[in-house]
């Protein structure tokens, strides 16, 4: 594929807290990228479980690293962005990992007129189930249907739209991308698997997630757009509560 535009540098940020069992795979997926003009930043929230010892093994391949208490994932994102020198910024957290050619695929498919791009992720279940999940840019008003680990954003965009909201514990990425949309930036979709995310079942607090999404919707959407998003959110809560069957959950005999 002919390369359209190649930025000088891409910054990858990993935010981590007590992820000794998964951080090594995340780090390896970054330092082994086929695209070599990378800056790698790790923001640790003060891990106490051996995570720091794993990071130290790769310290020579990490451009910047800090470990200190923080105010959550959004705070870690903001710290990493403030330290970034790359023209583009990607974020991959300690439970996820990149495809080997993730950064190259994204950079080969953007032009000088693109400011935000996203792709797909592959969900990996503890029971062996795998499923690709595509970013749906046109669905953004209804929730975070853009796969955050697959996103790359120009540093100038973050400078213009401001920081991640550290008051949000789950929906800070939804808030950020609605803000990006509100500022008039288009989001380019690239139909490639960019990142992998492991899941052993629905462990997140989905009720809190939906409440935070509603808060974000009220902040950014108005009139008919808000009413449609509210209705979608309500129906989605019902689906999760009464009808959703988790395909990634381990068999009961393996959960004891």
pLDDT digits (tens, 9 = 90+) for 161-186: 999 999 999 999 999 999 999 999 99
Residue 29: is its pLDDT beyond 90?
yes
Q: Mean pLDDT over residues 192-220, rounded?
A: 82
Residue 53: is its pLDDT beyond 90?
yes
Q: According to the model, what pLDDT value does residue 6 have?
A: 53
The total number of residues written for the chain in this structure: 256
CA 241 vs. chain centroid, Å, equals 25
Residue 207: is its pLDDT beyond 70?
yes
Angle at 140 between CA 125 and CA 196, to 5 degrees: 25
User: How is residue 242 annotated by DSSP?
Assistant: I
Q: According to the model, what pLDDT value does residue 31 have?
A: 98
Query: Which residues, at least 6 apart from 163, have a Cβ–Cβ distance to it below 8 Å?
Result: 74, 77, 78, 81
Q: According to the model, what pLDDT value does residue 245 have?
A: 62
Q: According to the model, what pLDDT value does residue 208 have?
A: 82
Q: Mean pLDDT over residues 115-143, rounded?
A: 92
Q: What is the mean pLDDT of the chain?
A: 90
Q: According to the model, what pLDDT value does residue 145 have?
A: 95
Q: Which long-range contacts (CB under 8 A, 24 or more apart) does 128-134 make?
A: 129/247, 129/248, 131/247, 131/248, 132/193, 134/191
DSSP conformation letters of 81-94? HHH--SSEEEE--T
**In the chain, what percentage of residues exceed pLDDT 70?**
89
Q: Give the tokens for residue 56.
A: 């130290």
The dihedral sign for the CA sequence 184, 77, 207, 96: positive
Indicate the pLDDT class of residue 242, thresholds 50, 70 and 90.
confident
CA–CA distance, 34 with 36 (Å, rounded to integer)? 6
Residue 41: is its pLDDT beyond 80?
yes
């Amino acid at each position: 594929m002919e390369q359209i535009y190649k930025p000088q540098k891409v910054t990858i940020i990993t935010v981590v807290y007590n992820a000794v069992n998964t951080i090594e795979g995340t780090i390896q997926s970054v330092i082994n990228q086929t695209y070599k003009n990378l800056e790698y930043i790790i923001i640790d929230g003060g891990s106490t479980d051996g995570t720091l010892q794993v990071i130290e093994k790769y310290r020579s391949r990490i451009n910047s690293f800090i470990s200190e208490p923080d105010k959550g994932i959004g705070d870690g994102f903001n710290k990493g962005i403030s330290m970034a020198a790359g023209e583009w910024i990607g974020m991959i957290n300690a439970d996820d990992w990149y495809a080997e050619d993730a950064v190259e695929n994204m950079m080969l498919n953007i032009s000088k007129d693109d400011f935000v791009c996203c792709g797909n992720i592959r969900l990996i279940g503890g029971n062996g189930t795998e499923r690709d999940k595509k970013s749906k840019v046109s669905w953004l008003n209804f929730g975070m249907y853009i796969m955050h680990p697959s996103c790359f954003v120009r540093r100038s965009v973050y400078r213009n739209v401001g920081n991640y909201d550290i008051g949000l514990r789950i929906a800070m990425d939804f808030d950020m991308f609605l803000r990006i949309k509100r500022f008039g930036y288009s989001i380019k979709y690239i139909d490639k698997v960019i990142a992998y995310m492991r899941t052993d079942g629905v462990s997140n607090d989905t009720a809190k997630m939906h409440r935070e999404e509603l808060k974000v919707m009220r902040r950014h959407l108005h009139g008919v757009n808000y009413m449609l998003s509210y209705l979608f959110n309500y129906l989605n809560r019902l689906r999760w509560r009464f009808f959703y069957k988790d395909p990634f959950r381990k068999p009961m005999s393996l959960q004891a």
